[in-house]
Structure 1
Amino acid sequence: MKEKILFVISLLFGLMFINSGLNKFFNYMPIPKNLPESMMKLMGAFMEINWLMPLIAVAEIIGGVLFIIPKFRALGAIIIFPVTVGVLLTHIIYAPSGLPIALVLLGIEIWVIIENREKYLPMIK
């Protein structure tokens, strides 16, 4: 039962990041009108660094796909972890209204990392 719940949550988590990554390339989701001014400035600064958003998008897409596949979930979690931390920090500093979903994403990420901890041990030995 635990494996089925983890798979469904991982599927939703992975699809969310795949969608976010694809949106960075194709811009099919509109930007909310009520974003704080500081958040708009931050996004503008990110867009000035030409390579940053494509890099984040590729990490989100690859990490999201790997996160869905049980065999590669541990690798997907490591790829997506810096992005998740960035999302969390962005919402803590610039847009606290998105903090609950950022905390849920971080919780899922930590759960998957803990479930796969034995796969990470060779990296730290």
Structure 2
Amino acid sequence: MKKTILFIICLIFGLFFINAGLNKFFNYMPPPPPKDLPEAMQKAGAAFMTIGWLMPLTGIFEIIGGFLFIFGKTRALGAIIILPIMVGIVLTAIYQAPNVLPLALVLAAINVWIIIDNREKYLPMVR
């Protein structure tokens, strides 16, 4: 039962990031109207769009990390790939969009849980 619940959580988490990554290439989810976004977030979005390679690079890492997160053998690597993206999501939620902070914290908790659960796989890197 525990393995099934873990797989479902990791599947949803992985699909969430795959979807976010694919959206950076195909733009199938419309962004919110600018009037609904805080001014700081509008400026940050404009800055990211000015750097043309940043969003596709983030999208590639979200897609790869999401796929790796789904499967048990590669989940530890997927969690590490997604970690810097997750830090950015949480910091953005804290400083610019506090209404999405609960979702960001749940996603961060899942990612940290998987990292802690697979800590023995990371030990050879730090020895």
TM class by shorter-chain length?
over 0.9
Runs (5+) with no aligned partner, structure 2: none
Percent of aligned pairs with the same residue?
65
Q: Quote the residue 1:72 is aligned against.
A: 74
Q: Distance in 1 between matches of 2:69 and 2:42?
A: 30
**How many residue pairs end up in the alignment?**
125
Describe the superposition over 1:53-88 as per-residue Cα deviations: whole angstroms up to 9, x where unpaired. Answer: 011000000000000011000000000000000000
Q: Quote the residue 2:57 is aligned against.
A: 55
Q: Distance in 2 between matches of 1:31 and 1:41?
A: 14
Where does structure 1 differ by over 6 angstroms across 4 or more consecutive aligned residues?
none
Q: Distance in 2 between matches of 1:38 and 1:97?
A: 15
Letter in 2 for 1:87: I
Matches within 5 A, 1:1-125: 1-33=1-33, 34-125=36-127
Kindly report the root-mean-square deviation, in angstroms, between the aligned alpha carbons of the 2 structures: 0.7
Q: Which shifted more, 36-45 or 98-107?
A: 36-45
Secondary structure of the 2:73 match is helix
Runs (5+) with no aligned partner, structure 1: none
TM-score, normalization: structure 2? 0.96
Q: Distance in 1 between matches of 2:64 and 2:102?
A: 25
